[in-house]
Amino acid sequence: MKMELIQPFINAADAVLAQGLQCPTSVGNLSMEQEAYRRKGVAALIWVTGDIEGRIVIDLDPDTAVRVASRFAGAELPESDELVRETVCELANQVIGNAVTSLNDQGFHFRVHPPVLHTSEHGPKSSEDTEALVICFETDIGNVFLNIALRHNASRQPERATAVGQ
Amino acid sequence: MEQFVPVKRSKDGQPVRYLVVDDSVFARKNLARMIETFGGQVAGEAGDGVTAITEYVRLKPDIVLMDITMPQMEGIEAAEKIVQQNPEARIVMVSSVGYQENIVAALQRGARHFVQKPVKPEVLYEVIKYVMGEDGTAAHAAGAGA
């Protein structure tokens, strides 16, 4: 997975988290995930299709999810509240939407699908052409994990080349 | 959250009425909180484009805040259908996907403006004043309706 694909997601997550949480964030661990994806807590998954295909997961441990959702909502939310899960989905929506906007400006064309709660304990395993990258964002109320597994859609490469005038 | 000078309807001094359309409950609540700080009133909410169309007909709001990526019917299609039947409709697209093609498509199909998520209250407030135009008045409470 090329850095040109990853950087917009890092920038978008950094900006969305900093604005929503009203605190600075920093990128902590960054690792390639070899084994099947293991959910950490409250996770939202978004599929993208187009020139680049794959999925992005935003994942927070349950306590952090409650704190993040409460900060976004501007009020303390109970742990079991549906609004906590909704907030994590909207957080994913905003991060991916902003990243896709930036990638579109580089000539990549996508369709972003509505976020869904990722409820299974495990996700699809990385494959030869779909590597998963895990990025940890450290904030003052806990860590937010971004798990990205994308691949170039080979059948659309000529289309993209035309779109960017290459 | 910051409090803004209330935007009222020029014709009767009443609060601007909004229809908030987003599949995310969180996003709808967040927008509703902002609308409150603008002195507006949430007339109704919808979670998809199909419901947005029926709610528009029922409520006739002054402004629609419309998400794009939604189940059943996406926001741009819903905006187009609403404007076809109600050319006076003021629809502001509110989406995290803010690339040029999306914005152009929304405006060509009848939306009046576009705001990218995460929404900054001060940006949305200025857009609301712009979209309301002469039909809206920003005035302090003491001067409201004057």
ipTM of predicted complex: 0.80
User: Is the pLDDT at A127 greater than 70, yes or no?
Assistant: no
Tell me how close the Cα of B62 comes to any Cα of chain A, in angstroms: 26
* Mean pLDDT for all residues in chain A: 82
Which of B69, B99, B117 comes nearest A105 by C-beta?
Answer: B99
pLDDT digits (tens, 9 = 90+) for A96-121: 999 999 998 888 888 888 888 876 66
Is the Cα dihedral A50, A51, A53, A59 positive or negative?
A: negative
Share of chain B above pLDDT 70, in %: 95
**Domains of chain B, earliest start first:** 16-133 (3.40.50.2300)
Of the pLDDT bands very low, low, confident and very high (cuts 50, 70, 90), residue A164 is very low
CA nearest neighbour of A6 among A126, A94, A121, A99:
A99
Count of CA atoms in the C-beta half-sphere (13 A) of A90: 28
| Residue B2 contacts A where some CB pair is shorter than 8 Å | no
pTM over 0.95: no
Q: Does B104 touch chain A (CB under 8 A)?
A: no
Q: pLDDT higher for B7 or A121?
A: B7
pLDDT value of position B51: 97
**What pLDDT score does A161 carry?**
46
Cβ-defined contact of A73 to B95 (cutoff 8 Å): no
Give the closest residue to B56 by CA, choosing from B19, B17, B106.
B19
Which of A21, A25, A81, A93 to substitute to test the interface with B, most B CBs within 10 Å? A93
- Highest-scoring range by mean pLDDT, A25-39, A79-93, A149-163, B26-40: B26-40
For residues A141-158, average pLDDT:
82
The verdict on B70 touching A (C-beta cutoff 8 Å) is yes
Pick from A29-43, B21-35, B51-65, B95-109 the range whose average pLDDT is largest.
Answer: B51-65
Minimum-distance CB partner of B96 among A20, A82, A93: A93
Mean pLDDT of A23-34: 84
All structural domains of chain A: 3-157 (3.40.1550.10)
Q: Which residues contact A155 (CB under 8 A, 6 or more apart)?
A: none
Q: Which residues contact B10 (CB under 8 A, 6 or more apart)?
A: B134, B135, B136, B137
| Confidence class for position A153, pLDDT limits 50, 70, 90 | confident
